[in-house]
Amino acid sequence: MIGGGLAIVGAGSWGTALAIVLAPRFPRISLWVYEKDLAERMRAARVNDLYLPGCCLPANVRVETEFAPALEGAATVLSVMPSHLVRAIYGQMLPWIDPSMVFVSATKGLENGTLLRASEVIFECVSARFEPRVAVVSGPTFAREVARADPTALVVASTDPSLAASVQASFSGPTFRLYTSPDPAGVEIGGAVKNVVAIGAGVCHGLGLGSNTQAALITRGLAEMTRLAMALGGRPQTLAGLAGLGDLVLTCTGELSRNRTVGLELARGRKLEEIVTSMKMVAEGIKTTKATVDLAARHAVEMPIATQMFEMLNFGLPPREVVRRLMDRTLKGE
């Protein structure tokens, strides 16, 4: 088990929920909040009224807007920022981190351009000063359900088994159960690409298509995720577990899924810009779709669902045409 304090960097719904569920496991938690006005309200009311209203912060959670006090005394740094902000935020954090810290990424996404996973971005940034110990956590988790103490299971992965076991022991509690994995590549690809497939699930629902279609999309989406993960050195059994199939089913079927909502609203005729503007939180699948398609091309991995999502999001391909193109593909074996 890792002793000392915990710094959570990012106070969206997921970062706030993690602060709530992990509070009993750490003597002190610092929650870094980007929006200064939100931080003031959180200090006063002990509630994140913007991203997770109705869920109270425990007394040992300290709200910070500066990195120096947020990282002071932290043995573990848990990053929960959107994937496109990981590099910039870690760059700003560098003066206040040290080799004694453990870094855990709970970000689900890929960096456009470099096509790196969040843990790879962290490693690259921190290596400018020292070689960091990095783990990733992922799985089927809606923030609100975690915050209200619904039983939840997820995965902590690292190429260092002792690090994964330490994070598992530190984070696990009565309603929050972690399983270890030696496969961060598989875990992160599952967490990133399931958001792309979930946009497709929302399209199917928005078009009024039934359970047959949803089941087919989820199953073939899992096949795409698995092929990409394996091309990056991931294990197929990882994608059959919580960080793959589990997270995919949740995000494709759950009413709280932001990425599913994007697809649903597109199928109902709304424009992407309008949908994004109306959302308080980031739907990671929008940015991750391009990175996924680019990564698949780099490794010669066939990903027809991701490709059609890319065409729809970036070139306005009509949702019904997306479905038609997927069904008209050349017949083949499973």
Residue 281: per-residue pLDDT: 74
Residue 282: per-residue pLDDT: 74
**How much of the chain exceeds pLDDT 90, in percent?**
94
DSSP assignment of 150-162, as one string? --EEEEEE-SSHH
The question of whether 290 is a catalytic residue gets the answer no
pTM for the full model?
Answer: 0.95
Q: Which residues contact 104 (CB under 8 A, 6 or more apart)?
A: 76, 77, 78, 79, 134, 135, 136, 137, 156, 167
Residue 285: per-residue pLDDT: 84
Residue 316: per-residue pLDDT: 93
Residue 210 — very low, low, confident or very high, per pLDDT cuts 50/70/90?
A: very high
Residue 280: per-residue pLDDT: 76
pLDDT for 3 beyond 80 = no
Domains in the chain, start-ordered, CATH in brackets? Answer: 5-182 (3.40.50.720), 185-327 (1.10.1040.10)
Residue 86 — very low, low, confident or very high, per pLDDT cuts 50/70/90?
A: very high
pLDDT for 2 beyond 90 = no
Mean pLDDT of the chain: 96
What is the Cα–Cα distance from 196 to 176, expressed in whole angstroms? 26
Place of tokens 């479905």: 323
Catalytic residue among 194, 280, 287, 332: 194
Residue 283: per-residue pLDDT: 80
pLDDT for 216 beyond 90 = yes
Residue 284 — very low, low, confident or very high, per pLDDT cuts 50/70/90?
A: confident
* Tens digits of residue pLDDT in 30-80: 999 999 999 999 999 999 999 999 999 999 999 999 999 999 999 999 999
Residue 170: per-residue pLDDT: 97
* Tens digits of residue pLDDT in 112-130: 999 999 999 999 999 999 9
